[in-house]
Every structure is written in structure tokens, then in C-alpha cells.
Amino acid sequence: MPIYEYRCKDCETVFETFVSSIPDADKVVCKKCESKNVEKQISTFASRLSGSSSNAPAGALSGCSSKSGFS
């Protein structure tokens, strides 16, 4: 089950929740005020490369950097 990040438009709380299917996404409620007035946020994920970094794109191991390796 994917974990999605949401923001409540009523109380501004940002929270994560499991969503098992697309129809269940309409049933997400704020964990603080229980409002259904929420919006899904664009979030990123972190990963760790193991072993040699010689095949990794430039900047891939540097975290938040201006050198993302993509153009």
C-alpha cells in the first residue's frame, strides 16, 4: 500500500496516510480535525545507493544539491 502525504485545507495540518486503492483516496480525512477538505501533496522519497557510486548520476549521492544530474 502506498503512503501519500496530504494537507488539510481547514487546519493546515500535513499528514501521511496509507491509501489502498484510488476510491479510498476520496475517504481520506485529516488526522487532527477530521475534515474531508484535504489535498494530496507532491512529495519526494529518499533512497540509498549501495556499493560503488561510479555508475550513479552526478549529484545523486549529494542530497539536495543544484547538481541533480538531470537537465
Instruction: Out of 7-11, 30-34, 67-71, pick the least confident.
Output: 67-71
* pLDDT at residue number 51: 61
**Banded model confidence at residue 38, pLDDT cuts 50, 70, 90:** very high
How many domains does the chain fold into? Answer: 1
| Strands, sheet with 14-18, edge to edge from the N-terminal-most edge strand | 14-18, 3-8, 38-40
3-state secondary structure of 4: strand
What pTM was estimated for this model as a whole? 0.57
- Take residue 31 and report the three cell numbers written for it: 488526522
* pLDDT at residue number 59: 55
* pLDDT at residue number 65: 52
Classify residue 55: in a domain, yes or no.
no
Classify residue 49: in a domain, yes or no.
no
Mean pLDDT for the stretch of residues 14-20: 90
Q: What does the alpha-carbon distance between residue 67 and residue 59 come to, in Å, rounded to a whole number?
A: 5
The answer to whether 36 touches 29, Cβ cutoff 8 Å, is: yes
Classify residue 25: in a domain, yes or no.
yes
Classify residue 54: in a domain, yes or no.
no
Block residue for cell numbers 529518499:
46
Q: State the residue range of the domain holding 31.
A: 3-40
Classify residue 47: in a domain, yes or no.
no
